[in-house]
Every structure is written in structure tokens, then in C-alpha cells.
Amino acid sequence: MTMLVVANWKMHGTRTMAETLLESIAKPAADVVNAGGTVVICPPFTLIDRLAQGFGNAAFGWGGQDCHVNTQGAHTGDVAAAMLKDCGAGWVILGHSERRADHAETNAGIATKVKAAHGAGLRIILCVGETLAERESGNAEAIVLSQLAAAYQPYVDAVAYEPVWAIGTGKVAQITDIEAMHRSIRGAIAPSTQVLYGGSVKAANAKEILATHGVDGVLVGGASLQQNEFNAILHAALSQQI
Ligand code: PGA
């Protein structure tokens, strides 16, 4: 099975820090790619152009963490999908729960972004996931399937299941819950779309998560900024591929 490993740097990263980190993970990333997998780094917008040029021959794919629905215009502070493409990105993360929370993104708005990103030729990672209250009230699956129904298109490359309560908290979903949710998601999407897990993925749990039935890769936040942690995650992905 070929794995997709995505690093979501969020609002972290300066030029020096980024280059040092990427040099230290280039070899294990290349090993994953040579074995048929994919490694996508999603730095802040400010770094994509420089990193895509500087590490152009390396194994990394590059992604944005969001894009605007329009191709251009009077939208101060926003970045269009075609601009991401122009500076070297091939991918974009859409519908991340932090954007849903911080920027009041709705399923309908995310659906429009999905179409805009596709129109610009970007590959799309669509994030879905329930809050703790939604899980505790037994609505996790219904919420995730409704997020998919609103925004998923068959050309989406990956759906990332990220329980909101597991992001950045150190709490990871039970393996049985991950497996069950991935099965539900799989039933609602095209065979070519990969299903990733995200939420406190780290060196200590990556192997077990990546070995879980229905998990085609991981979306990694905090641990993707730490060389040793991300190296171990890449090794875990490689061991699933060989
Ligand atoms: P985390 O973040 O790995 O720090 O929990 C994952 C994400 O938000 O994509």
C-alpha cells in the first residue's frame, strides 16, 4: 500500500528553521517516495516559493493550508489557488477544523474552495472531523458524513479524518474508532481518494495508526515540526509500504 504523509506546519516556520528541518528529513522522505508513497509539506504561504525552489529536486510535494474561492480580487490577506500553483504548490489543505473555527468556514464555503482549487489544478486534502461534544452525543459519524456530503467531490485526492478533540491535544482516537470512521468515509467516496488520519500523530503511535485497516496515510501537525518525530513517522510509513 502506498502512503500519503502530509506535514501541516500551521503558523510555524521561518526560512532558517524550515531549511534546517527539511534537510534533516529529506532522506527518509525520499525513501517513502522511492517506495511509491508521497510526502507533502504544507508550510505557511510565505515559505512555499522559496522552499519549492530550494528543495525542487527533493522528494517533497508542496501544499498550501487554505485558498480563497475566487481567482483574484479585492480580498485583503487572502491567497488564490492559482497563486499557490504559481509559487510551486501542487496541493492544498481545505476545511481544516482550525479554519472552520477561527474563520467561521462553513461546509458550503469549503465546497466552493474545493471547486476553486480543482480549477487551478491543485490536488486537494479535505479535512473532516467531529468535536468532542458531537462524539459524546453519538453523532460523530453523522457529522463527518454530512461534512463529506457538502464538500467532497470525486476528484478530491485525500480526505483527512481529524477528530477536532484530538488535534494538538495529545489525545488520539481509539484505533477501533479510527477504523470504523475510515470504513464509513470509504463508503462515501471514490476508490481513488485516499483516507488519512490526523490528530496528535507522533513517533510513538504512527506505526499502529498507519497499520490500521483503511488508513492510507497521516496528516501531521505538531510532530511534523520536530525532526526526530517526523523522521520516525516517515519510517513508519515506509515500513507499511515494503
Ligand atoms: P496535530 O495537528 O498533529 O498537532 O494534532 C494535526 C492537524 O491539525 O492537522
162 flagged as catalytic: yes
Q: Which amino acid makes up residue 33?
A: V
The CA distance from 130 to 171, in Å, is 14
- Per-residue confidence (pLDDT) for residue 175, from 0 to 100: 96
Assess whether the C-beta atom of 225 lies below 6 angstroms from ligand 1.
Answer: no
Tell me: pLDDT of 1 over 90.
Answer: no
Residue nearest to atom 1 of ligand 1 (CA): 221
Instruction: Tell me 68's DSSP state.
Output: B
> What grid cell was written down for 204?
510513538
Assess whether the C-beta atom of 219 lies below 6 angstroms from ligand 1.
Answer: yes
The CA distance from 144 to 200, in Å, is 19
Mean pLDDT of 197-218: 97
Q: What is the pLDDT of residues 33-88, one digit of tens each?
A: 999 999 999 999 999 999 999 997 778 999 999 999 999 999 999 999 999 999 99
Assess whether the C-beta atom of 64 lies below 6 angstroms from ligand 1.
Answer: no
The CA distance from 212 to 42, in Å, is 24
Residue 52 CA to ligand 1 centre (angstroms): 22
136 flagged as catalytic: no
Assess whether the C-beta atom of 63 lies below 6 angstroms from ligand 1.
Answer: no
The CA distance from 59 to 82, in Å, is 22
Q: What is the pLDDT of residues 118-168, one digit of tens each?
A: 999 999 999 999 999 999 999 999 999 999 999 999 999 999 999 999 998
Mean pLDDT of 176-191: 97
The CA distance from 30 to 178, in Å, is 28
